[in-house]
Amino acid sequence: MRKKKKTFHKRIDFGKQPLIVFSKFVTHPVTGLSLEDIEERLNFAFLDELAPPRKVRGRPPLPFPALCKMIFLLFCERFPTLTDLSRKLASDKRLREFCGFQQGKTPSKQKISQFLITLPEEKQRAVFGELHRQLQRVEYVENDTLSVDGCVFKTVNKRKDRPKIEKRNNETGRMKSVHGIKQVVGVLAQRGICTGFINDFDGRHDSIYYEDTLEQTAQLGYDFNSTAADKAFDSTDLRWRTLLFYGAEAIIPKREYKKKSGEQKKYKNRRRNLSNFTSNREQLIYNDRTAVERYFSKLEIPLGLGKLKTKRDESGATLLNFAHMYDAICRTVHLYKTLENAMVPIS
């Protein structure tokens, strides 16, 4: 019998070794991360630079970094409402120390809601981008496919000035009109993490925001060889633009219609469940599109965003954006812990 060849291993010391490719597909837990892990492995010092200038008159505002970390705390501790978050901050010393609030100077439910409504989208994008830069310091995975899709999140408030949005019922498959927010999201299939998102309150077509999500992904420093989207994004123009501006191949199935004599093609007559791909390779790439569906399921079920309980629609969009940031935090902390205890064979 041949003796098995010994494999020598070395322990990774973070900061001294190059980035490691663990696998082509990487999954990470949404839950199970403590506040101590987040505070130890993540640097929130950049939030001080994003704080708005202090006004000369009036009562001094609450610290901007503390308010941002407070929203991360909402997802980490799984508080169902903003009222529970406000009460826990006032009573729990551990939560106050994590955020940076002083005793007796914690925000009320109205203050939290007002912060979500008035926080500019530019600052939200800046926080989202910085968290991704920290993520790129500890992870390297081959990016092959970017999955793009849209989802409608229902809101409790029913504003008359907002039109209803069409949402498909997961149980019956029928379309219904609901009050909510449509969000088009780009997810790297090999990482399972969001790299671009667009909020829409009017319920316009998903394909309008396709190029915006690709542009955001490129601005964050991620490369991708192909994109995968469903038939809602079927457009020859989108395919050519993806190849021309990003050098990626768009794998999008074509719409097909039932042939009826003497009638023109109609949307209601189109056939839905047809792949019509020219090769098996395209089918395999399109199978990676399920990453964005799993991502939406993760937002709705573990993070509890299936129905947004907000004061106004704008605050619901801010909560969705912070959910993407918290997901990046979970991935960063998880990879720090993986790198510290990993045993990788010497090549």
Q: What distance in Å separates the CA atoms of residue 184 and residue 197, rounded to the nearest whole number?
A: 6
pLDDT at 266: 52
- pLDDT tens-digit readout, 67-80: 999 999 999 888 98
- pLDDT tens-digit readout, 275-287: 677 788 888 899 9
pLDDT at 13: 46
> Which tokens is 318 given?
């801010």
pLDDT at 182: 93
User: Which residue stretches of the chain have pLDDT < 70?
Assistant: 1-32, 170-171, 256-275, 341-347
pLDDT at 63: 92
Q: How far is CA 315 from the centre of its chain?
A: 17
pLDDT at 137: 83
Q: What distance in Å separates the CA atoms of residue 108 and residue 114, rounded to the nearest whole number?
A: 10
Domain boundaries, the chain: 142-313
Buried (b) or exposed (e) across 37-73, using 16+ Cβ within 10 A? bbeebbebeebeebeeeeeeeeeeebbbbbbbbbbbb
> Which tokens is 103 given?
């005793």
pLDDT at 258: 56
How does strand 9-11 pair with strand 343-345?
A: antiparallel
| CATH number belonging to domain 142-313 | 3.30.420
